[in-house]
Chains A and B, each alone.
Chain A
Amino acid sequence: NAGVTQTPKFQVLKTGQSMTLQCAQDMNHEYMSWYRQDPGMGLRLIHYSVGAGITDQGEVPNGYNVSRSTTEDFPLRLLSAAPSQTSVYFCASRPMGQGARGYTFGSGTRLTVV
């Protein structure tokens, strides 16, 4: 089925470790974004991209890196994991210029940093 695929589903890291959360979409959407969801905080935007080779910071970008080499993939990198990065991470995409159509979200990655 077409949509947004996130891997892994669950991950436990030790403080200081690095890892990459994967996100892929097969809908040819130009816009992709990463959110984190914490209890009582809703979803907060980490980074977003409006197309291959173009990325920008969201509300909470510190501690995270992104790159966009293809339209399909938008990985999120944690360079040195911290307990404050324990959260559920969601990737979302939409066609550019069609914000009213809403975003398609992946099913999330639950990350625990110990």
Chain B
Amino acid sequence: TQLLEQSPQFLSIQEGENLTVYCNSSSVFSSLQWYRQEPGEGPVLLVTVVTGGEVKKLKRLTFQFGDARKDSSLHITAAQPGDTGLYLCAASNAGNMLTFGGGTRLMVKP
């Protein structure tokens, strides 16, 4: 059983549509990160959220950390084919271990 549950696992949409990816846990985390991974490459950090209720925006991407610091969401507005990839959430507590969710594989069709 994974500590972080991501949903959906797969998402296929048309260019221009909006989408939301969720990352949920029963545990409280000190910080949560979102990564994007392309085939044949390692994950690349998109954002870190540390405060309950925090909202961060990165161009067309909006990240939110839940008030209780147990969940997070990633919303993409007007998705583009370049957004295609594997989106991973990862969380840590005070220790040195970073735990990853199972990932959401996004495909944006032109």
A binding-site residues for B, Cβ under 8 Å: 4, 31, 33, 35, 40-45, 48, 50, 56, 58-59, 90, 92, 99-103, 105-108
Contact = CB atoms under 8 A, between A and B. Distances in A.
B48 A58 contact: no
Contacts of B92: 99
Which 5 pairs of residues, A with B, have the shortest CB-CB distance? A105-B42, A102-B45, A42-B100, A43-B100, A42-B102
Contact of A42 (B2, B31, B42, B97): B2
Contacts of A106: 42
A100 B42 CA distance: 18
A74 to B, nearest CB: 14
A69 B97 CA distance: 21
B40 to A, nearest CB: 7
B97 A48 contact: yes
Given A58-B97, A100-B50, A102-B33, A41 B102 contact: yes
Contacts, number: 60
Interface in B1-33: 2, 4, 6, 9, 31, 33
Contacts of A45: 97-99
B45 A107 contact: no
A101 B42 contact: no
Nearest to A102: B45
Nearest to B103: A42
B44 A105 contact: yes
B43 interface: yes
A40 B103 CA distance: 7
Nearest to A35: B100
A23 to B, nearest CB: 11
A112 to B, nearest CB: 15
